[in-house]
Amino acid sequence: MSPLRLPAPAKLNLFLHITGQRADGYHLLQTVFQLIDHMDWLSFEVDDDLKLISDLPFPTSQNLIIRAAKRLQEVTGCKEGAIITLEKILPMGGGLGGGSSDAATTLLALNHLWQTKLSLDELAAIGLTLGADVPVFIRGQNAWAEGVGEILQAIPLDPSHFVVLIPDCSVSTAEIFTHPNLPRATPKINMRDYLVPHSRHGLTTSGILHNDCAGIVRTLYSEVDQALCFLESIQQKNPDLTSTPQLTGTGACVFMMTPTRSIADKILEQAPFNGFVCSGIGQSPVHSALNLL
């Protein structure tokens, strides 16, 4: 049989509010996950051993892909293995959820290939043990998220296009979330208000929708600050660009929504940074390939 080749799509956080902190140190948040058509690719072949083939610069045993596969073996008692080949396209430490998406695609693919027959709920529970962003990729839909990111509600999002810049740095999520100056008490907003276009526009133009990590990241990583300054300058010169430039996750990637892909292309051509242009997608192509939705 030929290898099963599947994508691992990236996400953008359209905003990220930190609303509190639990006694165990985990942060409570509100965010919207937007899936995009920019992705890693993974190929899977059933084998006796478990092996990852990639160009990643650290031991594969530490990679979320292998950890996800081993966790599925542990939970189900499956004795099968797999040769997994990763084509890494998404930047590491970019806030695009690449590692989490790779882990989710691995769980979905091996659940199919190994015939372990776990439900999406069961796979999402495994994913949460690997990282807070994994469940949204398991479920494969744009989502409103609360809790530590694991309380998900699928939401409809308008068709969208983005220019994404990749500053030449990798942001440490742990460094940002442990920083003493990180805001941790942003008031909660109502999902119903976000879903009403008029209310959402008001939340955006008033600055209520933002990324609580952005201030710290801009202070610690000058490359991120420079990328955001570039997008902000573009927006100021073009009144048709009404979307505020944002940091996704804890960064380092930054983005701006644009009315069309062609406008995003023109912005990227001017940018003194690497980057890409993408569009939002309504559901993960992994789920379509495996007929899960």
**pLDDT digits 0-9 by tens, 69-104:** 999 999 999 999 999 999 999 999 899 999 999 999
Structure token pair of residue 35: 């899936």
Show the CA angle centred on residue 111, arms to residues 105 and 116, nearest 5°. Answer: 165
* Stretch(es) of the chain classified as CATH 3.30.230.10: 4-155
Instruction: Give alpha helix (H) positions in the chain.
Output: 64-76, 98-113, 120-130, 134-139, 173-177, 191-195, 197-205, 214-220, 222-237, 261-270, 285-290
- Binding residues for ATP, by number, are 91-101
53 within 8 A of 83, measured Cβ to Cβ: yes
* Stretch(es) of the chain classified as CATH 3.30.70.890: 161-279
* Residue 285 CB partners (closer than 8 Å, separation 6+): 6, 7, 9, 39
SS3 assignment, position 267: helix
* pTM attached to this predicted model: 0.95
Q: Thinking of the domain 161-279, which architecture would CATH place it in?
A: 2-Layer Sandwich (3.30)
| Closest C-alpha to 63, from 25, 109, 101 | 101
Catalytic sites, residue numbers? 11, 133
- CATH code assigned to 4-155: 3.30.230.10
Structure token pair of residue 12: 């953008």
Please write the tens of the pLDDT for every residue from 117-142. Answer: 999 999 999 999 999 999 999 999 99
**pLDDT-derived band of residue 1, with 50, 70 and 90 as boundaries?**
confident
